[in-house]
Homo-oligomer: A and B are copies of this chain.
Amino acid sequence: MRLPLFVIVAAAMLSAAAPPVKITPNDIVAHSPASAWKAIDPDDLLVMNLAGGRVVIQLAPQFAPVHVANIKALARGNYWDGATIYRVQDNYVAQWGLNESDKGFPAGVTAKPAAEYTRTVKGLSITPLGSPDPYAPGAGFVDGWPVAFSKKAGWADLTHCYAMVGVGRDLSPDTGTGGELYAVIGHGPRQLDRNIAMVGRVIEGIDRLSSLPRGTEALGFYRDRAQYVPIASIRLASDMPAAERPAFEVMDTASATFANYLRLRANRYDDFYIRPAGGVDVCNVQVPVRRKS
């Protein structure tokens, strides 16, 4: 019953003059064609193994190439074996790494990368959000990623949304190496945009980070080492045996399917929602990602 109804409804949606129909963003995902998805390169998948299970991170080399290259070199060099999650600040971030350890970096790590807080907007094909953004002249989506941008000033950057991953750093002008990373576990702290290098997002297991006990020291650091959450290892999927390697797809944000999804995210109207907002925050769009194996 659902699919035929959906087809009728999807056809009706193509007309801008059509009345509101009772269809949800999840319906769009459930009935999307295979052509609306793109495989994620296993060389851009970072697998963090915790005692309770794994956290999978998709890396974004097109936004912070040097920091992402560092992260890959650190993973390949087993740098994080024995690392911990040592900071969990409520409505902000969970952070992990070696925390002030003086363990040396493996080969191939750039010790003092340039900022990479933004990249040039040139060459990016942006699907616009279609709603105003409080933090930037424009917001939208590129290659499955949420971005903010200024065409006039020429920059684009990944936005600090829930589950996005950034590079911990000291006070400016330090930019961090990638050895200390954090994931957003609260309302998107967009004030960090353009002030820090963003390198990816958690696409599986963010709840393993967001449900951790909050640290009671300033900035959410754990007080005692006994509270640190051990990380068994962090590996690139491309370095794992083929049989164990996870595989994911992300919705193509240039597709017609995503355009429909985005429109419904901004205009919820179904048996639960009765008043569509007519707009949406870039962090509430949540580009669909799905597991393939």
Contacts and interface: CB of A to CB of B under 8 A. Distances in A.
A49 B186 CA distance: 24
Copies of this chain, complex-wide, total 2
Interface stretch (A7-15, A39-47, A210-218, A224-232): A210-218
A279 interface: yes
A120 B119 CA distance: 45
A265 B188 contact: no
B135 A279 contact: yes
A172 B210 CA distance: 31
A43 B136 CA distance: 41
Given A187-B188, A280-B134, A272 B171 contact: yes
A90 interface: yes
Interface in A175-202: 186-195
Interface in A244-292: 265, 268, 271-275, 277-281, 283-284
A126 interface: no
A206 B91 contact: yes
A66 B272 CA distance: 21
A132 interface: yes
A62 interface: no
A284 B211 contact: no
A271 B171 contact: yes
B283 A135 contact: no
A70 B162 CA distance: 34
A131 interface: yes
Contacts of A88: 211
A137 B53 CA distance: 44
B207 A90 contact: yes
A196 B280 CA distance: 17
A271 B207 CA distance: 32
Contacts of A268: 191, 195
Given A163-B91, A211-B214, A265 B191 contact: yes
A162 B280 CA distance: 16
A5 B232 CA distance: 47
A195 B135 contact: no
Contacts of A172: 271-274
11 contacts: A90-B210, A91-B206, A134-B277, A136-B277, A136-B279, A161-B187, A189-B284, A190-B284, A191-B268, A195-B268, A207-B214
Interface of A: 88, 90-91, 117, 129, 131-136, 161-163, 171-172, 186-195, 206-207, 210-214, 265, 268, 271-275, 277-281, 283-284
